[in-house]
């Protein structure tokens, strides 16, 4: 239904996103997109780059007088750091004399496989695009999607539940409190007690020239029953969410609801009994994480996403120089020590994108009025069931 293409190198002039398939008549706010972009830049454990950038979106098509037109929406996020890279990242000029090629791939990064696949001698040609800088485009697209969802009272949030070995123990059940606590936390966790331990672990990683990963949880509330489908594998919403989240840089795992824990329990301790409160079906538990058979069941969608530690280590692991074939320490590129808080912002916006796609698939994607009519008619039908 909706799709986007992005382009841009980490130290090139800008990141560009073209979103296609969005309905007309959606009132969009630049402030909401910029707010998400700003959140993505924050988080304890980020490196120096984020002091240079001040990510903001510029929209050059598809929006008129603050409303979407139904035509492609083109968004730009400028890389302020480009001013320091004009010769090294020049589009037309020849490489400068001073250019230092990168020949020692970083274990864990796309460097080695990318250099071989695309036949690059200078690994910079790989790392610039493989960089998590591009997650800004995912956030910009997702921030449009979350505005569409908000028009139908569907809300998306995320909070960090683990950094390395430190786990959040108690998380507020109330939505507003969960959002406010995570927003106020430098590591975007909703557990105040875990927060300082998480920050101490990030400090430890930094002091050792190391990095640390973690897990964040995404919660989506307000989805109607019936988004996605069970009829064909590529229409299953659980697979689409997991696929999109796994495509974010450094993500290594996605759990839905109980996730891996469900595999360790008897069925009677996993599945959620079905009840009816007189007006709607409901569940006393949510082990399914809001998805059964690849379809939303009306309960909150709960996803947990695992991020590996960032692969650029200031104390590098061994690598091989791809020109000399000598064993050498991997190249060091300025980077972060921990980007799990930032990844949680990316994750919630990516999830918003997938849910918006499924929503428009069910209710149409031409104009907001038509979608609203279809949505309200569906809710009426659901009431009769
Ligand atoms: C960035 C994410 C990281 C940062 C990058 C900006 O990307 P990578 O996956 O390449 O480590 O390192 O910053 C730099 C490349 C830099 O020059 O500091 C982001 O989220 O914007």
The atom of ligand 1 lying closest to the CA of 10 is: 15
Q: What does the H/E/C string look like for 208-244?
A: CCCCCCEEEEEEEECCCCCCECCCCHHHCHHHHHHHH
Alpha carbon nearest to ligand 1 atom 20, residue: 133
Give 10-residue mean pLDDT values along the chain (385 residues).
Answer: 97 98 98 98 92 96 98 98 96 95 98 98 98 98 98 98 97 95 97 96 97 98 98 98 98 98 98 94 97 98 98 96 98 93 98 98 97 98 95
287 CA → ligand 1 middle, Å: 36
Nearest residue (CA) to ligand 1, atom 10: 131
- What separation in Å is there between the alpha carbon of 285 and the centre of ligand 1? 40
pTM of the model: 0.97
User: What pLDDT was estimated at residue 49?
Assistant: 87
Nearest-CA residue for ligand 1 atom 8 is 131
Q: How far is the CA of 336 from the centre of ligand 1 (A)?
A: 7
Task: Tell me the CA–centroid distance for residue 36 and ligand 1, in Å.
Answer: 17
Ligand 1 nearest atom to the CA of residue 249, by list position: 9
Give the residue from 116, 33, 58 showing the smallest Cα distance to 352: 33
Confidence at residue 261, expressed as pLDDT on a 0 to 100 scale: 98
Ligand 1 center to 334 CA (angstroms): 7
Report which ligand 1 atom has the smallest distance to the Cα of 109: 9
pLDDT confidence of residue 271: 98
Token pair recorded at residue 197:
């331990």
CATH class of 3-383: alpha beta
pLDDT at position 353: 98
Could you give the CA distance from residue 380 to residue 385 in angstroms, rounded to a whole number?
9
**Which numbered atom of ligand 1 lies nearest the CA of 55?**
21
C-beta separation of 190 from 180 below 8 A: no
- Of the residues 127, 132, 211, which should be mutated to test ligand 1's pocket, given the most ligand atoms within 8 Å of the CB? 132
The closest residue, in CA terms, to atom 12 on ligand 1 is 335
Pairing of strands 63-64, 67-69: antiparallel
What is the spatial distance between Cα 226 and Cα 30, in angstroms, rounded to a whole number?
31
The preferred substitution site among 310, 335, 344 for testing ligand 1, maximizing ligand atoms within 8 Å of CB, is 335
Residue whose tokens read 């930032």 = 342
State in Å: Cα 49 to ligand 1 middle. Answer: 7
Half-sphere exposure (CA, 13 Å, Cβ side) for 378? 16
* Index of the ligand 1 atom closest to the CA of residue 49: 18
pLDDT the model gives residue 47 = 87
* Predicted local confidence at residue 187, as pLDDT: 98
Q: Which residues contact 64 (CB under 8 A, 6 or more apart)?
A: none
Ligand 1 mutation pick, 10, 47, 53, 114, max ligand atoms within 8 A of CB: 10
pLDDT tens digits along 230-284: 999 999 999 999 999 999 999 999 999 999 999 999 999 999 999 999 989 999 9
Residue 52 CA to ligand 1 center (angstroms) comes to 11
Pocket of ligand 1 (CB under 6 A): 10, 47, 49, 81, 127, 131-133, 135-136, 249, 310, 312, 334-336
Which three-class secondary structure state does DSSP give residue 4? strand
pLDDT recorded at residue 172:
93
19-65, pLDDT tens digit by residue? 999 999 999 999 999 999 999 999 999 988 898 999 999 999 999 99
């Amino acid at each position: 239904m909706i799709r986007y293409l992005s382009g841009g190198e980490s130290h090139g002039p800008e990141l560009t996103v073209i979103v296609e398939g969005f309905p007309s008549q959606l009132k969009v706010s630049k402030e909401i997109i910029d707010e998400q972009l700003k959140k993505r830049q924050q988080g304890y454990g980020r490196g120096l780059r984020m002091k240079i950038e001040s990510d903001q979106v510029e929209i050059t098509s598809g929006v008129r007088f603050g409303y979407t037109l139904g035509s492609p929406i083109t968004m730009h996020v400028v890389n302020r750091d480009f001013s320091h890279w004009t010769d090294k990242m020049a589009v037309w000029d020849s490489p400068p004399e001073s250019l230092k090629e990168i020949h020692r791939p970083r274990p864990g990064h796309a460097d080695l496989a990318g250099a071989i696949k695309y036949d690059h001698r200078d690994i910079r040609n790989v790392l610039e695009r493989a960089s998590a800088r591009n997650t800004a485009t995912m956030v910009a697209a997702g921030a449009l999607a979350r505005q569409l969802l908000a028009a139908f009272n569907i809300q998306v949030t995320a909070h960090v539940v683990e950094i390395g070995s430190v786990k959040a123990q108690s998380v507020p059940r109330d939505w507003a409190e969960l959002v406010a606590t995570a927003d106020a936390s430098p590591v975007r966790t909703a557990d105040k007690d875990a927060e300082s331990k998480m920050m101490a672990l990030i400090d430890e990683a930094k002091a050792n020239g190391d990095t640390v990963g973690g897990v964040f949880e995404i919660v989506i509330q307000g989805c109607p029953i019936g988004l996605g489908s069970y009829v064909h594998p590529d229409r299953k919403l659980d697979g689409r969410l997991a696929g999109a989240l796994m495509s974010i840089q450094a993500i290594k795992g996605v759990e839905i609801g109980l996730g891996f824990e469900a595999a360790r329990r008897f069925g009677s301790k996993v599945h959620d009994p079905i009840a009816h409160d007189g007006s709607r079906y409901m569940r006393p538990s949510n082990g399914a994480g809001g998805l059964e058979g690849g379809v939303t069941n009306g309960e909150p969608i709960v996803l947990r996403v695992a991020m590996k530690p960032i692969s650029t280590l200031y104390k590098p692991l061994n690598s091989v120089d791809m020109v000399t074939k000598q064993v050498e320490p991997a190249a060091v590129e300025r980077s972060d020590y921990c980007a799990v808080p930032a990844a949680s912002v990316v994750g919630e916006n990516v999830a918003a994108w997938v849910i918006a796609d499924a929503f428009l698939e069910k209710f149409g994607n031409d104009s907001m009025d038509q979608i609203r009519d279809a949505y309200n008619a569906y809710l009426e039908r659901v009431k009769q069931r």
